[in-house]
Amino acid sequence: MGGGFRVLHLVRPFLSFLPEVQSADRKVPFREKVIYTVISLFIFLVCSQLPLYGIHSTTGADPFYWMRVILASNRGTVMELGITPIVTSGLVMQLLAGSKIIEVDNNVREDRALLNGAQKLLGILIAIGEAVAYVLSGMYGSVGQLGVGNAILIIIQLCFAGIIVICLDELLQKGYGLGSGISLFIATNICENIIWKAFSPTTINSGRGAEFEGAVIALFHLLITRTDKVRALREAFYRQNLPNVTNLLATVLIFLIVIYFQGFRVVLPVRSKNARGQQGSYPIKLFYTSNMPIILQSALVSNLYFISQLLYRRYSGNFLVNLLGKWKESEYSGGQFVPVGGLAYYITAPSSLADMAANPFHALFYLVFMLSACALFSKTWIEVSGSSAKDVAKQLKEQQMVMPGHRESNLQKELNATFPQLLLLEACALVH
């Protein structure tokens, strides 16, 4: 890169003030990686259960309810922001670098350090901005009710939790842990929800009397208390508005299928132009873009839900607002609103197999929407993140590698024939 001024140079004065995890200077043993990963996830889970000090109230409908799972956040706790700051800053910096708005040479160590610092600084600024917005919007009560001292304390707690997430993610990515921190935090949050919905001892009055929220506990409770065992089994497997055994088994099945397909890849044979007889392979994973398409799709849908709810509460009689979505307060989810009509309803997954059978058009529309959205986001992401067929062909060319039986000029053409098929298969695999 040239020696002139670049946008990334603006980050230099802040690097010494930013928290940083030093890269591992040795190969970290697998056992130590497991320990670091478990400790990181334990800290994350503790923060997810630690209530915010000084809040006035968190009762009522949660406007960010639909974002919680994918953003690994928990309402009313210090992990209220979840991974939002780090994901948002990462996406912004990746888009800026991929679209060449900022110049980054990944082969230059300083550029990598500046990009990482810029992403970290932006993540902290986003955490501060979101914390201030949460407090001023009245999510925990009005500022007058909270008091200035408590309001500032809440902002500090949220910002500090955001910095903890950034540091934990960096710790795992710099060779001390297993996998990406973001993916692990999302997976941990999802697993926590699955376990809670399977074994929750909380009782809910569903109109048929008090029932346990946990699907497994409800199954044994119904079998013990009901004289008609067949009816008890049917209710445990197919009950509405509460977690049931069918949904739990479907989740386990999807989990096993994803693990199975995780190992699928297309292997392209390559050989060196310079060293005769030296051959190798270039593997392309089925989940080429990892979980990024589903994160982007979930963020899009969650924001649409948020906007639709706000508009419907104020302009419920407007035709265009109803076209975007109709909402109804659910009596089984603590005052949470659920979509019952409009676009918001049709892009929501059917709640059960019975719902799919009763409204097949809804199920078909949801399937087509998910396939199209994930395929589109996959294609867009590989273009802006420097992972497209053109970028891969350029990397292989720089390494003096070619595909046997193909001319060097046809390498990108061959990759272009492979990538769309992978993206479509990935989109199909991500739909659940």
Q: Which of 260-264, 321-325, 410-414 has the highest mean pLDDT?
A: 321-325
**pLDDT of 332 higher than 70:** no
Q: Please check whether the two domains, 7-187 and 264-430, share a CATH topology.
A: yes
How far apart CA 302 and CA 306 sit, in angstroms, is 6
Mean local confidence (pLDDT), 215-224: 89
Lowest mean pLDDT among 60-74, 164-178, 234-248, 269-283: 269-283
134/274 Cα distance (integer angstroms): 59
In angstroms, the Cα distances linking 240 to 107, 134, 194, 297, 328 are 55, 33, 17, 26, 16
Topology classification of domain 7-187: Preprotein translocase SecY subunit (1.10.3370)
Six-digit token pair at 219?
A: 């199954």
For 108, phi then psi, to 5°, come to -100, 125
Predicted TM-score (pTM) of this structure: 0.74
202, containing H or E segment: none
Residue 270, classed as helix, strand or coil, is strand
Distance (Å, whole) CA 284 – CA 273: 21
380/298 Cα distance (integer angstroms): 15
Percent of the chain with pLDDT strictly greater than 90: 10
Domain 264-430 -> CATH class: mainly alpha
As a whole number, the mean pLDDT across the chain is 80
Residue ranges of domains in the chain: 7-187, 200-262, 264-430
- State residue 239's pLDDT score: 83
Output DSSP code: residue 142: -
Q: In this predicted model, what pLDDT tens digit does every residue of 256-271 receive, in sequence order? A: 877 777 667 767 777 7
Tokens of 259: 């693990």
The two three-digit tokens of residue 255, written as one number: 């989990």
Cβ partners under 8 Å of residue 371, min gap 6: 427, 428, 431
Question: How confident is the model over 133-171, as pLDDT tens digits?
Answer: 888 877 888 888 888 899 999 999 999 999 999 999 888
Radius of gyration of the chain (CA): 25
Count H helices and E strands in the chain, helices first: 16, 7
- CA gap 151, 412 in Å, rounded: 55
Tell me the CA distances in angstroms from 51 to 78, 158, 432, one per residue in order.
6, 11, 33
Cβ partners under 8 Å of residue 219, min gap 6: 233, 236, 245
Cα separation, 250 vs 51, whole angstroms: 32
d(CA 238, CA 82): 32
* Banded pLDDT at 2 (limits 50, 70, 90): very low
Contacts of 390 (CB under 8 A, 6+ apart): 412
* Neighbouring residues of 332: CB distance < 8 A, sequence distance ≥ 6: 204, 206, 241, 242
